[in-house]
Structure 1
Amino acid sequence: MTEPPHLSATRAAYDTVAADYAKLQRTENPETPLDLAMLDAFAGLVRTADAGQVADLGCGPGRITAHLHSLRLPALGIDLSPAMVATARQTYPGLRFEVGSMARLSLADDSLAGIVAWYSIIHTPPALLPELFAEFQRVLASGGHLLLGFQVGNERLHIAHGYGHSVSLDAYRLPPDDVAEFLSRAGLLVQARMVREPAAREKTQQARLLGHKPAGRTRR
């Protein structure tokens, strides 16, 4: 099967910037108290259900995976970029990281207690988000929880430079209502949403959607 162009472009770009991306993240803490509160709420819901493993999809150099681990969740990081996964394994040798596409996960149906996709859906063309969320729904266990983070807007941005390197990939700012509707169509219901104003070097509002797969619902 031929790989969709946006996946090839995303892998190539993040392989290129992996080392410098990780270095910058080690010196900055981009999450605000509100962001951390949403991550903590997600972790509390998953811990209460006591349902098993959580996947950080599009984990990059592993910072959010490590944060989930600090919140007492059995966290697994998955990323499309082998260079990002290598960096994550080196930085957090006690945690598990795997190379893989969140659009086609090598995970069994109904196998995850939770999914975090923290700024990792932004390189998926909006027309393909329903298909992506259907894959999330497939691997998420009945009663499992989901947390998304992304930039608010309704536009495509082409990125030609990043972290001191020339790259070529697209990123999408997304309307929260549209994302919530796509999740609902996939059988994932939004429980809470938070849209906050830009902080630090951010240029647009930031959205967090907390959802779940209703108990008793299996793969669609």
Structure 2
Amino acid sequence: MTAPALSRTGGPHPAGGTAPAQVPDWGDPYADAVRAGRGPLWLRHRDGRRVPLDVERWCAPAAGADHSLLLRCTQLTAPVLDLGCGPGRLVAALLALGIPALGVDITGEAVARTRRLGALALRRSLFDRLPGEGRWGGVLLADGNLGIGGDPDAILERCAELLAPGGTLLVEVEPQELDEHSTVQLEGAHGRLSPPFSWARLGAVATARRARRAGLVETDRWVSHGRRFLALQAGPRTG
């Protein structure tokens, strides 16, 4: 997971289209947790329900289900772009495998931690201009990042723009079948709260359906260590 990586202005982004309008200037509870390498950190819903976030796993070396993602990356045409790379475990692991990779995250502490691992990362929104647009062999959306900004359609369309024809998006989805949109906050230690922001949670069926509208076709679906993933392939350019 990362802070919502949207255009800071909420207006038209350089790649075309319009980013969702409300973009919180948040990140303090998240940045604090990343800096410490541990929680507590929760996703807090309006009704008071709290979902714990696995900061320790994000800050640790790639493990468990991450290896299923990394294995599929070895079968893609390089390079690979990790959107919402967080503390950088996947980017670092890709580079260790000899796969050219770049991480993108809007939170400065996450980018700094990724760079300390020896990996490459940019502090940027995924809707900002990025290197190699339309030429990436693979794009990663792990750790719930499909939900960024509560607009999975915009995220999937942006991924399609970034991929080369025939390139593959590897996206983590919810283990259960959901298509849920909500307003949430991050809650950190001592009850520290981020401003409210929109978030989405999608299962495999809803993700595949929305992906088709973005020109992405499902080619694989798998579960590893209780986490669920899809592989979505970009079609040829049109127009």
Common fold: TM-score over 0.5: yes
Shift of 1:6: 5.6
Q: Pairwise mapping of residues 105-184 of structure 1 onto structure 2 (< 5 A)?
A: 105-119=129-143, 120-125=145-150, 128-152=151-175, 153-155=178-180, 156=182, 158-162=184-188, 166-168=192-194, 169=197, 171-184=199-212
Cα distance between partner residues in 1 of 2:62 and 2:88: 14
Alpha-carbon distance, 1:44 to partner: 2.8
Which one has a larger percent helix, Structure 1 or Structure 2?
Answer: 1
RMSD between aligned residues: 2.9
What SS does the aligned partner of 2:125 have? Answer: coil
The answer to whether the 8 Å contact 2:29/2:187 transfers is: no
Q: Report 1:41-52 matches (<5 A).
A: 41=72, 43-46=73-76, 49=77, 52=78
CA displacement at 1:108 relative to structure 2: 4.1
Q: Which residue of 2 aligns with 1:89?
A: 115
Asked if the contact 1:194–1:209 (Cα under 8 Å) also holds between the matched residues in 2, the reply is yes
Structure-1 separation of matches of 2:104 and 2:203: 25
Asked if structure 2 preserves the Cα contact closer than 8 Å seen for 1:191 and 1:210, the reply is yes
Q: Cα gap change, 1:17/1:71 in structure 2, threshold over 3 Å: closer, same or farther?
A: same
Cα distance between partner residues in 2 of 1:35 and 1:80:
22
What is residue 56 of structure 2 aligned with on the other side? 24
- Give me the whole-angstrom Cα distance separating, in 1, the residues matched to 2:30 and 2:220: 31
Superposed displacement of residue 9, structure 1: 5.0
Identity of aligned residues (%): 23
Question: Contact conserved, 2:92 with 2:114, CA < 8 A, in 1?
Answer: no
Measure the CA separation in 1 of the matches of 2:211 and 2:153.
7
Which amino acid is 1:39 matched to?
Answer: L
Q: Tell me, in whole angstroms, the C-alpha distance in 1 between the residues paired with 2:59 and 2:124.
A: 27
CA-CA distance at 1:176 after TM superposition? 1.3
The number of residues matched between the two structures is: 201
Q: Which runs of 5+ in 1 are unaligned?
A: 199-205
Unaligned runs of 5+ in 2: 1-7, 11-19, 39-54
Structure 1 residue 211 corresponds to structure 2 residue 239 = no
- Closer, same or farther: CA 162–151 of 1 in aligned 2, 3 Å: farther
Q: 1:149 is paired with a residue of what secondary structure?
A: strand
Aligned-partner Cα distance in 1 for 2:222–2:190: 32
In the superposition, relative to structure 1, how do residues 21 and 8 fare at CA in structure 2: closer, same or farther (>3 Å)? farther
Within the candidate set 43, 64, 89, 1:63 is matched to: 89
Say yes or no: does 1:8 pair with 2:24. yes
CA contact 2:179–2:200 (8 Å) conserved in 1? yes
1:179–1:9 Cα change, 3 Å: farther
Aligned to 1:201: none
Q: 1:183 to 1:141 in 2, by over 3 A?
A: same
Could you say what secondary structure the match of 1:179 adopts? helix
TM-score, normalising length: structure 1: 0.76
SS in 2 for 1:102: coil
